[in-house]
Each structure stands twice: as structure tokens, then as C-alpha cells.
Amino acid sequence: MASSPTAARVSPATSTSPASPMAPPRSFLWFRRIFLTLLTGFVMIPVYVMISSSLKPLADVTGTFRWLPSELTFRPYIDIWSTVPLARYFVNSLIVAGAATVCSVVIAVFSAYAVSRYSFRGKRVFTVTVLSTQMFPGILFLLPLFLIYVNIGNATGIALFGSRGGLILTYLTFSLPFSIWMLIGYFDSVPRDLDEAALVDGCGPLGALFRVVVPAAIPGIVAVAVYAFMTAWGEVLFASVMTNDTTRTLAVGLQGYSTLHDVYWNQIMAASLVVSIPVVAGFLLLQRYLVAGLTAGAVK
């Protein structure tokens, strides 16, 4: 990945295509160029620091900052696997975040569909309650949640605390409120005529949901899925007390590189990069769904 701003390439190549109503004025293009260049710099400098530091020996990283490594070494990329069980943490994180995302999105789609398309008693209470959960400071329910999981475990034998299942349950609930609220908005913007047409064609309400509404709201669903994934991917506080050595996730596991003796800066950077690559790649793949919006003219 290059750190140099890609501004040179920011040119209005196809912006004068027929879809665009009018050619943007030059001042706009210049402003855009400058803005995006600066933004790229702001975004990429820390990323560059990560990359360059991950290729430096430890002594280099703890010394005065230098833009270029005094000597290149790939040692950190080898050491990261033995300093902490990175592979295991990585798999745990993928499982937990992946499962939480799938469950969260499915549940949110159902809820949002109900709120968007039906009027029923308690709708207001539901939406407000769901939103209000976003106001709780995590600290307030960390201990209580832990207690509940332990008690469920004692009563039913389902081990929630310390297991991936407990973490999945927690994270999917964390991302639910926002997912539901966002999807309500996206579903509302899908014209009702479309699902009514589907119902005329003999689909049930669920058929209308999955054949019409969901496909039309794909960008929103993808955005929500990305959000749900990242919520689970980065959470530190709950993971630090609800996991053990075998179920620990990356977000917590990366702290293992800063030990009582030393902070292995170069290894932290290397490990962060390694684990982020699949996620960024996933983003790249999802991108086209993210922007594949409604076809023009679908909305009257």
C-alpha cells in the first residue's frame, strides 16, 4: 500500500456521463482534490507508521522516530505467532464476529420489517426501548451481565461465560439497536408499491420481505453488517473478562504484546496489519453491494 496521496488520480474521468446532470465546476473539482488528498494523508499516516514500524527491529522502534527503517527485518512477522497464540485469537475473533454479524443482521431485518411495514401496539415502546439501550455505559452492566451468564450456566448447564457463545450473544445484542434503527430507515425508503405488488403475485409477507424489500435495501444491510462485524471485532472491555485463554479474541489478545518487561511495538504493528488484511479485503469485496443502490426510477 502506498502512503503517497492518490490525489493525482482523482480526476473527473466519468463524471460527465449522461447520468450526471451537469458537469461539476472546476472550483468544485479542485476543492475535492485538496480535501481528499488531505484526508488520505490523515488516514494513511498512522497506517504508514504501522507498516514501517512492523519492519523495524525492536531497538529501532523504541528510539527516535524515523520515517524509514534503518534496517529492514521481517522478524516481527515471524515472532508474532510465538509471542502470543495469534492464530487462535484470530480464529476466535472471526467466529465470534462472524456469527454475531449474521445473527444480528437477520434479527434486525425481521424487527425492522415489522416496524417499517406494520402498525401494531407497542411499536413506540419497542423502538424507544431499543434506542435507549445505546445510552447505557458498558460499565453499568458488565458485572450484572457476567452474573446473569454465570447463573444461566449454573441453572441450565449452558456455559455462556468464558465461551464464544456468550460473547456472540453479547455482541449481537450490542449491534442490534443501531442495526434495527438503520434498517427501519432503509426499509421505509423502499417503496411500498413494490411489496404490495409482490403480495398480489401471491408472496406471503415473508416472501415480500426476502424477495423485494431485502434486495432493495442491500446497501443498508451491508452497511449494517459491516457495523455489526466491527462492533464485535474491536470490543475490549467485555472480552477481557468474559473470555479465557482458549476463547480470547484479538482485540484483547493483542495486548499480550505489551508485557511486564517490554512493549513489542513492532510486533503489535505487524500483528495488527496481518489480522486487518482479511477484514479490509472483505470490505473491498462488499463495496460494490454497498453502492449498488436502487435503480433510478424505482421511486416515484
139 CB burial (10 A radius; 0-12, 13-18, 19+): exposed
Q: How far is the CB of 193 from another protein (least distance, A)?
A: 10
Considering the complex, state which of residue 23 and residue 72 has its C-beta at the smaller distance from another protein. Answer: 23
Nearer to another protein, 136 or 157 (CB): 136
**Concatenated DSSP letters for 21-72?**
SSPPPHHHHHHHHHHHHHHHHHHHHHHHHHHHHHTS-HHHHTSS--SS-SS-
Q: Name which of 72 and 190 has its Cβ closer to another protein.
A: 190
Q: Which is nearer to another protein, 28 or 74 (CB)?
A: 28
User: Under a CB-based contact definition with an 8 Å cutoff, are residues 247 and 88 in contact?
Assistant: no
By C-beta, is 70 or 287 nearer to another protein?
A: 287
Q: Write the DSSP assignment of 74-104 as a string of letters.
A: -HHHHHHHHHS-HHHHHHHHHHHHHHHHHHH
Nearest distance in Å: CB 86, another protein: 10
Q: Please say whether the beta carbons of 60 and 74 come within 8 A.
A: no
CB of 248 to another protein, least distance (A): 9
CB of 74 to another protein, least distance (A): 19
Question: How long, in residues, is the chain?
Answer: 300
**Least distance from another protein to the Cβ atom of residue 115, Å:** 7
